């Protein structure tokens, strides 16, 4: 197991649609172990492969009691609405309030390649949506109006300089 460096905005891989996961082997398990370790090390609740520079449709999460690996994730159902702060390890966790559906149903493959469906509400649903977005080359700030998006980017650049 190893902690991998986090890929940060505006690295190109974060804006790319990920390639499908096709090999459900030992290498994938090791990659997911590293992703969990990297995520916990940064006190995150979810981490997608592009965030460690790997252009794959894959994420791990441990959020609000929902711990899973999702390969080739899709959101197949959403409903309701929630509003709350959201942040991203690729943007120094700078929070922005973002409305999201309150319920989401995820369809994905596990480490063995078996398809599963999982429903979540609230924070865990937000995590499903945020991480699946990463696999589609989308960041949470892409959902924000331009002015608010630019404000987050400005804050991020400032934080980077202070580090």
Binds Ni ion by CB under 5 A, chosen from 71, 88, 127, 135 = 88
Which residues have a Cβ under 8 Å from the Cβ of 47 and sit 6 or more positions away? 35, 36, 38, 39, 59, 60, 61, 89, 131
Q: Any contact of residue 66 with Ni ion (CB under 5 A)?
A: no
- Nearest residue to Ni ion, by Cβ distance, number only: 88
Q: Nearer Cβ to Ni ion, position 31 or 88?
A: 88
Q: Any contact of residue 96 with Ni ion (CB under 5 A)?
A: no
Active-site entry in 26, 74, 112, 131 = 131
Which ranges constitute the DSSP H helices of the chain?
A: 26-41, 122-135, 146-162
Report the candidate in 98, 99, 88 with the shortest Cα–Cα distance to residue 46: 88
Is 131 part of the annotated catalytic residue set? yes
Which sequence positions are flagged as catalytic?
Answer: 131
Q: Which residues bind Ni ion (CB under 5 A)?
A: 88
């Amino acid at each position: 197991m190893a902690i991998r460096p986090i890929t940060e905005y505006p690295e190109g891989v974060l804006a790319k649609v990920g390639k499908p996961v096709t090999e459900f082997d030992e290498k994938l398990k090791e990659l997911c172990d590293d992703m969990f370790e990297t995520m916990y090390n940064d006190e995150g609740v979810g981490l997608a492969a592009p965030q460690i520079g790997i252009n794959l449709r894959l994420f791990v999460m441990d959020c609000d009691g929902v711990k899973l690996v999702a390969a080739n994730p899709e959101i197949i159902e959403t409903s309701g609405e929630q509003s709350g702060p959201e942040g991203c390890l690729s943007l120094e966790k700078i929070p922005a309030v973002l409305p999201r559906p309150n319920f989401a149903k995820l369809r994905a493959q596990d480490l063995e390649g078996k398809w599963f469906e999982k429903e979540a509400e609230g924070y865990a649903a937000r995590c499903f949506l945020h991480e699946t977005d990463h696999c589609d080359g989308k960041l949470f700030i892409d959902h924000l109006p331009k002015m608010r998006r630019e404000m987050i980017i400005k804050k991020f650049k400032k934080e980077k300089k202070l580090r």
